[in-house]
Structure 1
Amino acid sequence: LGYILHELTKSSITRADVLKKGTQLKLLIKLNNLTAVFKPMRYSRNYSVNGLPYEGYDRHNGEIASYHISRILNMKRAPPVVGRLIDLRLEIIPVATRRLKKTFFVKNGTNTCFLGECLYCKTKSDAACGIGNFMEGAMVLWLPGNYTLEKFRHPWSRTYNINKKAKWEAQNNEVNYCNIIKDVPRYKTGPLLLDIIDTCLFDYIIGNADRHHYERFYGDNNSMLILLDNAKSFGNPNFDEESILAPLLQCKIIRKTTAERLAILKQGTLTRILKAVLASDPLAPILTNHHLVAVNRRLDNILFYLSVDEYKYV
């Protein structure tokens, strides 16, 4: 793991291309021995994203912090991530593909920017810009080609329409949405439903309300749920989106090992470990103190929910 993180942040970039997959601006980066996704910095550390819980650009520092939180929680299902400061003029433009290179421009006379290609990459106002030629970003390991992923709609996904509730949001005393999900073959047996519960706990702690799909290894019915795309996290440290916990609160089930791990990390232990780990990232500091306080508060909220209702521990 140390080798991978070192290569992601230090290895020479041999090719850079657009990555059309998804709605957010990012690059596909080839290194000497690895391939990575580069998620550029869009906000300063202390910027607070307000509005709907899934609004805003990806947060590169959120992707970095989320990876380490997944490991601290013993949910080791996220690809390795590390911060990197890139010189766009020296490291990207010389090895950029033609379709990426043509999207570069200079803003305010000094700042190098690129628009790339993505669903929301429409005008220059959507571009990512460095400070001068330098740009921070998160380097996310791209899984080797021999691993094929299968994508599924998350059963607790949002409608992304403020005038339309999802089925899980419309649950009432007569209909238990979780019981409906338990009748779906892929959730009846195996670890998947418990993985979804784990994931909602992870997402709640990092403040990610944008888990609309999930991925598993193709053809393996017992495959773990992989924690990809965690950058819609750490947007607003002053707000906790309780609806993220819907799978836990509606199903009333949790892994015993997960509950035990959460209990160990209370009283500031989680953030003490997190702060120490993040201090070694090349872009440190990764999170503001406000976000560290939010992490502790959200963990306490989860433990409170577990204490005031009856849950099945498996």
Structure 2
Amino acid sequence: MSLSVRFPNRKLWRVLLAAVALVALLHVLTSDRTLFYTCHLMKDSAQVSQIKLPFPRDNQIESNSSFTQTGLSKTKELEEELNHSNLAEFWETAGHMLGPNGLYPEDFNVSIVLNKMATSKIVSAQGSPGGTSYKWKVRLEGGQYAIFKPQLVEPERERKTSCNTGHEQPRVEIAAFHLMRLFGFRTVPFVAGRKVNITSEILPHAARSVKKFIKTYPDGTACIRHKCFYCKVERSTCFQDGVVDGALMFWLHQPISYRLGVNSSYHPFHQLTFNKSIYNFGVNDPPHCDWVRSMRIYDKPRYFLDLVDMTIMGHVLGNQDEKHVYIRDEQDNPIMTVHIDHGLGMCLSTREVNANKNLAALTQCCRVRESTIGALNRRLPTLREDFERSSSRDRLYPLLTDHQLDAVVRRADEVFEALKKCEEVVDSSVLFDKTN
């Protein structure tokens, strides 16, 4: 004899359960807690050694003057070591160069790593779901992982209408790496342009998650079927010679976490561009600024100033897709802020790249690193020449148009205009923070 229980109205029970789940979710989102989405980036234990932090934690950095003697080797010795190591040793060293203020030393010759990324053999490729663009997670000879974002539409060299929509642009992703470095930020993982032959370099080593989206023809043509997150409609892009341009991004060896601010999908000063609302923040608004600085991570001066830096550089680069991401230790404590996802940047729309909105962290708190403003001021007069010299060796050169570089300078000028407003209400000793 079997016993079964019948509910009088299954639809009603489903609605009630959904309502309970929604209430629980809203409680979490509106509480004082902050959500942390953590992803362990190098999961293949055979390829990655145990992580060793080469520098002390945030509250110990300034007091530990012995770091320069006990940290990484001098830059020239490091470069020499890279040039004479096998591939496995090369990637291991390149992935563990981080110091207190960057993923690699200040005067490091980044072309050593960029050239290796652009030329090393691809030994595996698998699909990488999520995010806003179609991409592959590839493994290079020697064990280094990277993300490859192919150029699947004609380069939108001057996106003037709607920012943060459409397909990501690999050349913009690469350009952001060089520009951030020129402005003194060594917090963007290595990005190199690469031309990849789909038939000979990808398909022989591809997982099913990649192969099912590729179709080849006897004349050498290769087509990739893909769907843009914002475009919704699936389409197919074909390459007559089977070669696709793309940006190859170095996969960090350290675990990272995405910091999501309370009541904001990205951070507490930046309203998403997807939501057309604009913050009407005034200049120097202590209550909201104090609230932000009471939040975990931002209660440390270093990481609060990192947040201000991020909003400034997001505006300068015309990037509406910025996220506060940090390398963390095993206890989920931050040890360095990193900057990723610049493929939707370099937007020329003055309507959407709005200084009042994007620079709210600066204008509302009127506090910024002195070194950040100094770097902007020093670099702008020679930015075009410096960027040309830095990016000219990339396989996808030229990366930006003259109009895009002009827009970078214009938006940097808007940062200085915001500083003038702050100088009217706070003393310069408060405005310019000397914290590194």
Where on the TM-score scale, by shorter chain, does this alignment land: which range? 0.7 to 0.9
Residue 336 of structure 2: SS of its match in structure 1? Answer: coil
Instruction: Tell me if the contact between 2:192 and 2:248 (Cα under 8 Å) persists in the aligned partners.
Output: yes
| Cα drift, residue 56 of structure 1 | 2.0
| Amino acid in structure 2 at the alignment position of 1:28 | K
Residue 187 of structure 1: SS of its match in structure 2? Answer: coil
The normalised TM-score by structure 1 is 0.87
Structure 2 CA distance for aligned equivalents of residues 172 and 22 of structure 1: 33
| Cα drift, residue 141 of structure 1 | 0.4
CA deviation string 1:267-312 (max 9, x = no partner): 3x12221121111111111111111111121222222322343261
Partner in structure 1 of residue 328 of structure 2: 217
Corresponding position: 1:23 with 2:132: yes
Q: What's the % identity of the aligned pairs?
A: 25
Partner in structure 1 of residue 432 of structure 2: 313
| Amino acid in structure 2 at the alignment position of 1:27 | W
Distance 1:176 1:50, change over 3 A: farther
Instruction: Tell me if the contact between 1:70 and 1:76 (Cα under 8 Å) persists in the aligned partners.
Output: yes
Task: Give unpaired runs (5+ residues) of structure 1.
Answer: none
Structure 2 CA distance for aligned equivalents of residues 271 and 43 of structure 1: 26
Distance 1:220 1:74, change over 3 A: farther
Partner in structure 1 of residue 169 of structure 2: 59
Partner in structure 1 of residue 369 of structure 2: 255
Instruction: Tell me if the contact between 1:89 and 1:133 (Cα under 8 Å) persists in the aligned partners.
Output: yes
Structure 2 CA distance for aligned equivalents of residues 50 and 110 of structure 1: 35
Instruction: Tell me if the contact between 2:148 and 2:248 (Cα under 8 Å) persists in the aligned partners.
Output: yes
The normalised TM-score by structure 2 is 0.64
Structure 1 CA distance for aligned equivalents of residues 316 and 252 of structure 2: 25
| Cα drift, residue 4 of structure 1 | 1.9
Corresponding position: 1:69 with 2:179: yes
| Amino acid in structure 1 at the alignment position of 2:117 | L
Structure 1 CA distance for aligned equivalents of residues 177 and 407 of structure 2: 17
| Cα drift, residue 210 of structure 1 | 1.4
**More deviation, 234-243/33-42:** 234-243
Distance 1:272 1:307, change over 3 A: farther
| Amino acid in structure 2 at the alignment position of 1:155 | P
Corresponding position: 1:265 with 2:376: no
Instruction: Tell me if the contact between 2:163 and 2:344 (Cα under 8 Å) persists in the aligned partners.
Output: no
Equivalent of residue 345 in structure 2, options 233, 236, 243 = 233
| Amino acid in structure 2 at the alignment position of 1:29 | V
Instruction: Tell me if the contact between 2:227 and 2:233 (Cα under 8 Å) persists in the aligned partners.
Output: no
Distance 1:279 1:303, change over 3 A: same
Partner in structure 1 of residue 194 of structure 2: 84
Distance 1:155 1:16, change over 3 A: same
Residue 309 of structure 1: SS of its match in structure 2? Answer: helix
Equivalent of residue 285 in structure 1, options 393, 398, 415 = 398
Structure 1 CA distance for aligned equivalents of residues 231 and 187 of structure 2: 29
Structure 1 CA distance for aligned equivalents of residues 323 and 334 of structure 2: 21
Instruction: Tell me if the contact between 1:106 and 1:112 (Cα under 8 Å) persists in the aligned partners.
Output: yes
Partner in structure 1 of residue 255 of structure 2: 148
| Amino acid in structure 2 at the alignment position of 1:81 | V
Instruction: Tell me if the contact between 2:149 and 2:246 (Cα under 8 Å) persists in the aligned partners.
Output: yes
Residue 339 of structure 2: SS of its match in structure 1? Answer: coil
Instruction: Tell me if the contact between 1:195 and 1:224 (Cα under 8 Å) persists in the aligned partners.
Output: no
How well do the aligned residues superpose, as a CA RMSD in angstroms? Answer: 2.7
Indicate the structure (1 or 2) with the bigger Cα radius of gyration: 2
Distance 1:195 1:129, change over 3 A: farther
Of the two structures, which has the highest relative contact order with CA contacts closer than 8 Å and spacing of 6 or more?
Answer: 1
Distance 1:182 1:275, change over 3 A: same
Structure 2 CA distance for aligned equivalents of residues 255 and 121 of structure 1: 38
Task: Give unpaired runs (5+ residues) of structure 2.
Answer: 1-109, 261-266
Structure 2 CA distance for aligned equivalents of residues 66 and 117 of structure 1: 24
